[in-house]
Amino acid sequence: MERKSFIEELLGARWKIRTLKVIVSERQINISALAKISDSFFSSVVKYVEFLKKYNIVKEKKFGKIRIIVANESSDIFNLITKLIDKSEEIEKLKVMNENNLI
């Protein structure tokens, strides 16, 4: 079996992109809420968060059983992800405006 590249691991599924979008917009979120808002399985999000922590994209704070995922805004990778998401949202807005003949 072929090993996945970093970018495939990072963005290789729609639910991962949704999860990243939530982290970018919220900056700090409970892991259960992250799974719910991104419409992803809790166990998948837990594994994905471990991957993100490994690359210092997010950090985790624990308060008893509560796990808070915190965006690492000093991470170059996190900042690139943020720019990518912001640009993609701009493109989506332009696409909708164009479809509605507003531009």
Domain boundaries, the chain: 6-99
Buried b (16+ CB within 10 A) or exposed e, 6-25: eeebbeeeebbbebbbbbbe
The sign one gets for the Cα dihedral 67, 72, 78, 83 is positive
* Residue 24 to residue 78: CA distance in whole angstroms: 8
Task: Note the pLDDT of residue 16.
Answer: 96
Q: Report pTM.
A: 0.87
* Residue 103 to residue 87: CA distance in whole angstroms: 18
For residue 103, is pLDDT > 70?
no
Task: Note the pLDDT of residue 97.
Answer: 80
What tens digit of pLDDT does each residue of 87-102 get? 999 998 888 888 877 6
State the average pLDDT for the chain. Answer: 93
What tens digit of pLDDT does each residue of 29-63 get? 999 999 999 999 999 999 999 999 999 999 999 99
CATH entry, 6-99, from 3.20.20.70, 1.10.3720.10, 3.40.50.620, 1.10.10.10: 1.10.10.10
